[in-house]
Structure 1
Amino acid sequence: MSDLDKALADIIAIRSQLAAGTAFRGYGPAAVAATGVVALVATILQFCWLDDPSRDPIAFFAGWAVAAVLSAVVIWTEMWARLRRHHSGLADAMIHQAIEQFLPAGVAGVLLAAMLWKFAPEALWMLPGLWQVLVSLGIFASVRSLPRTVALAGAWYFVAGFAVLILASQSHGLSPWTMGLPFAVGQSLMAAILYFASGETDAGR
């Protein structure tokens, strides 16, 4: 490795260490709250238009896929703007760090859905609860760079996920309420935490 390559590698390593030790301020309360509204709207629309989600799982999960993509676009758009404003030269490193923290849970959720759909469609009723548990794990993985109180949102998703699994086990059915209501409450809670936390005195270092 040439001296130039070594110097560049050292710079990248230093930027990554700085990003890891800096409070992440990319998640804006407004955008996070908006994703809660998206979840609530999706819940109401499916409740009104889908007579029996268990008989039409494609429409059920397609609707939530659209809601998830829309929520991701909203968060990503505001995150990029906020990081450019608050973290300047560390913006790229901070984004990579945020992706690395949530990527395992996100990939696990997608693979789990694909596996159940292909090999155990009769167990699709478990997906809403399992996804909520995975979201909780992603939040807990991000606690070190976010306000510590976001652990409350992680705890909500963890408890809600298992509660949904227990409720759904009675009928093995899909419901827009057991999918959407926990996300609407969880995202609203996360938005409130981000709003009231200073991001400086409450964030992990």
Structure 2
Amino acid sequence: MSDQNKKILEIEWEIDKKTIALNHLHRAIYLYIVEKDFLSAHLLASASTEIILNTLEAQGTETRISSFRKKHGEKEYKLIHDRINKSYNFMKHGSRGVKDKIKSYFPSETEVRIFEACIYSMILYEESYLEALLFVFWYKLRHHKENEVQDKIVSILLSEDSKITSKIGNSKDKNFNNATKGISDMLIDISNNMHPKDYLLMRDYTFRYDEGMKTIRE
């Protein structure tokens, strides 16, 4: 280990929940699309979603949590919440049921969790992050669903002055495989700091060793 890296690891970090949520979500998107590491992506996306939804609820902003509670009550909400978070809870708790197995996990759970975190992150932080825009576009093409919120987000990504439309295809290009390849390449470019400029990034909220442990958005 170099002296610089050793020094970085010995520095006391100051982090907040926004940094954690966006760091986790940035990595979840990359792991799901680029590396197909569904389990790690699920754990990170679920943790990010938990922070984002709880923060929105604390601020009084309506989410699926608050609206479901209001409509069905606390008891019914807990049953649904436990069912939704079954895979997440199994993955994160190692102190009980060490020999247990789960037989009901599907990677499609993970992409829904990432999608939800992307949508709510932009509501909470009032910023349109490039990684979230890319994932929402991918999700929209994958499921062929018309949705006003999705359409609005995708329109930001595919605006006339967009620098990346040529890489991922426009809204009329329904070739999912081509778009996926372009999105995967773009996520790799973001990780290598080779992305088009003038876009907000979740990656800006991560601590990067190669930048000498700069503070967030220094």
Q: More helix by proportion, 1 or 2?
A: 1
TM-score by length of 1: 0.31
TM-score by length of 2: 0.30
- RCO greater where, 1 or 2, for CA within 8 Å and sep 6 or more? 1
